[in-house]
């Protein structure tokens, strides 16, 4: 159950990444901040166990924070969204 809840958080972060990239005016900086904080906190906690995927979570969270500042790189956006969507798929089907 907890894995599925974390999957919902990941899909929320992926959607906020897409919205922040495609419609920066419509994206709420507060919601983007929540998505970034979620990934950084979750990644930070699970990276204590040495999980490589958690380090990538932290990097995605930092990148989403940069999106809220208006800094966007299309290749990084694509990587972050694909990474978060595949994590969501694994958490829902696991």
Name the residue ranges covered by the structural domains of the chain: 2-93
Q: Which pLDDT belongs to residue 29?
A: 87
Tokens matching residue 71: 């800094």
For residue 14, is pLDDT > 80? Answer: yes
Residue with tokens 């790189």: 73
Cβ(42)–Cβ(6) below 8 Å: yes
Instruction: Please write the tens of the pLDDT for every residue from 54-94.
Output: 999 999 999 999 998 889 999 999 999 999 999 999 999 87
Helix 52-68 vs helix 74-93: angle between axes, to the nearest 10 degrees? 130
Instruction: Please write the tens of the pLDDT for every residue from 24-40.
Output: 776 788 899 999 999 99
Model confidence pTM above 0.85: yes
| Dihedral sign (CA 33, 71, 26, 58) | negative
Q: Which pLDDT belongs to residue 43?
A: 96
User: Which positions ≥6 away from 81 have C-beta within 8 Å?
Assistant: 14, 17, 18
């Amino acid at each position: 159950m907890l894995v599925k809840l974390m999957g919902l958080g990941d899909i929320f972060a992926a959607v906020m990444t897409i919205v922040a990239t495609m419609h920066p005016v419509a994206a709420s900086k507060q919601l983007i901040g929540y998505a970034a904080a979620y990934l950084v906190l979750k990644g930070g906690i699970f990276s204590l166990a040495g999980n490589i995927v958690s380090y990538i979570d932290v990097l995605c969270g930092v990148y989403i924070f940069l999106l809220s500042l208006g800094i966007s790189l299309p290749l990084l956006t694509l990587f972050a969204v694909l990474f978060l969507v595949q994590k969501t798929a694994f958490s829902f089907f696991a």
